[in-house]
Chains A and B, each alone.
Chain A
Amino acid sequence: MLVLDRVGKTYPNGVRALDGISLEVGPGEILAIVGGSGCGKSTMLRAISGLDTPSQGVVMLDGMPVLGPHPKIGIIFQEPRLLPWLTVAGNVGFGIDDRPKAEREDRVATALARVGLTDKADVWPRELSGGQAQRVAIARALVPRPEVLLLDEPFSALDAFTRADLQDHLLDLWADSKPTLLLVTHDVEEAIVLADRVMVMRPHPGRVYDEIADDLPRPRDRQSAAFDFVKRRVMAALDRSLDRAVITAEGETKNSAGAALWW
């Protein structure tokens, strides 16, 4: 169980990026996080991953506070961030370097097979396409078998077709060990296809605005009326989250940009 208890983050330059985020995510749950640009989504994931420390509150995993990068918490960034001097297999095995060689090779081979890149094991990262590179990044994050996997807009740099493909891959991989997933995305459909719950954030400072349950049967049909219903609810919540933000931000008289431009 991942618990955030009144987590706040104020950057050294005075920007209040997060304020009073309280959140519980159960084992195996998939939580999607949406919200306007700059509302602290990345800041929140970085606080959970231990890359940054919260200024207030505490992140707890299974009852223990997370004080730095944690062996049971993995993260996937928007860019693959592969190490160019390691082969694909070397990158995938990067996090289990302390294991015996045989076990390492076995787990790397399994992971590569699961993301469909067995034939690329000995290739350098720069020879991969964007989608392949992100699949390697996913494999690298999953090989140490994290309990919690954080994904910060992992597919936003990819074309629509590759993105749909990787969403399927992600669900497949998730089914293997059922880690908790926290997925930040600006693609509402992606959130609804993948998540059990969609959390909407609002900015200045970043707070939880709304949570929408998403218990559609899997695999999910983007064309169905039920899907559309959930999507409308999320879009409406997003819209409102931005309206409020404009009103509460002191001195700001901007008009709401409206649904089409919420990100």
Chain B
Amino acid sequence: MSFGPMTITAGPTTEPAKVEQTVQKPGLSRFARPALGLILPVGLAVLWELAVRAGLSNGRLVPPPSVIFNTFAELAKTGELQRHAAVTLWRVGAGFGIGVGFGTILGAITGYSGLSHRLIDPTLQALRAIPSIAWVPLFILWLGIFEASKVTLIAVGVFFPVYLGVMGAVTSVDRKIVEVGRVFRLSGPAMIRRILLPAVMPAYVLALRSGLGLGWMFVVAAEFMGASEGLGYLLIDGQQLGKPAQIVAAIVAFAVIGKLTDWMIAAAATPFLRWEDSFARR
């Protein structure tokens, strides 16, 4: 706003001022924007805390932040939180590994060869139409109520986004770029390593991340069906014993670990995606 008169009175000096402003603007909003998003949840939490302290509510069904924090700290101190989190993490890890393995292999095959696409894809698409939770009774019959059925359910949840992502990525690799590899007479493995893998990498990372998201969703479902350990068990246990603070603490743990694992994938992929990322970072 104040630039108007300045432009007229002091021509030469406006140039740096303008530059400074255009440089500052994105820098400011980078911090301002997330901060804006925090106002609502933090404000509500503080209000609720004050309301309970002032005796406006007893906070039994909706515990105030301080109680949740205490529950969280106590669970962490006794090592219970870590134990449950480790079990859940192991289940997600195993299911994720299996789902990613099958999804990647089948996605690559169906994306690469038209014949196997016609052979395999219709069946998988039909299976995909089934809500995965519907498999639970069958998995329990087949695999028992312990780890195997849980890990299988998670693997099924992870499989589909990975399969679809890899298949789409492989199908849409630019034929013109592949020709560059052919002109330089790349062998089969070299073509995969130097052309196909880098070309599918961005889509693959996206597929892994959405697969992981579904993995976390399905681990909750899996742990609801009769587990004696795990963060999902903490949820059920909190419900049955009427401990809402424990439920919220488990939810918070889910959120934190879920976010952390997602961030780990993103971070591990960063060196391979710098060519793409550098645009977003500017």
Q: Hey, which bits of chain A sit against chain B, CB under 8 A?
A: 49, 51, 68-69, 71, 74-75, 77, 79, 81, 83-86, 94-95, 97, 124, 126, 144
Contacts and interface: CB of A to CB of B under 8 A. Distances in A.
B198 interface: yes
B182 interface: yes
Q: 3 shortest A-B CB distances, which residue pairs?
A: A85-B198, A95-B184, A85-B275
A113 B85 CA distance: 57
A51 B180 contact: no
Contact of A51 (B179, B195, B275): B179
Interface in B171-217: 176-177, 179-180, 182-185, 194-195, 198-199, 201
Nearest to A127: B278
B31 interface: no
A85 B179 contact: no
A123 B164 CA distance: 33
B279 interface: yes
B183 A124 contact: no
Interface centre among B183, B198, B279 (most CB of A within 10 A): B183
Contact of A74 (B179, B183, B199, B272): B183
Given A79-B176, A81-B177, A85-B198, A126 B184 contact: no
A69 B176 contact: no
A124 B183 CA distance: 22
A94 B278 contact: no
B195 A81 contact: no
A69 B182 contact: yes
Contacts of B195: 83
A75 B183 CA distance: 7
B277 to A, nearest CB: 10
Contacts of B194: 94, 97
Given A69-B183, A85-B201, 10 more contacts: A49-B183, A51-B179, A68-B185, A69-B184, A71-B185, A74-B183, A81-B179, A124-B275, A126-B275, A126-B279
Interface in B145-193: 176-177, 179-180, 182-185
Given A69-B185, A94-B184, A95-B184, A124 B179 contact: no
23 contacts: A49-B183, A51-B179, A51-B182, A68-B185, A69-B182, A69-B183, A69-B185, A75-B183, A77-B179, A79-B176, A81-B177, A81-B179, A83-B195, A83-B198, A84-B275, A85-B201, A85-B272, A85-B275, A85-B276, A94-B180, A94-B194, A97-B194, A124-B278
Interface of B: 176-177, 179-180, 182-185, 194-195, 198-199, 201, 272, 275-276, 278-279
B96 to A, nearest CB: 26
A150 B194 CA distance: 23
Nearest to B190: A97
Contacts of A83: 177, 180, 195, 198
A204 to B, nearest CB: 26
Contact of B180 (A68, A81, A124, A126): A81
Contacts of B279: 126
A239 to B, nearest CB: 33
Contacts of A49: 183
Interface centre among B199, B275, B278 (most CB of A within 10 A): B275
Contacts of A68: 185
Contacts of A79: 176
B229 to A, nearest CB: 43
Contacts of B176: 77, 79, 81
Contacts of B179: 51, 77, 81
Contacts of B201: 85
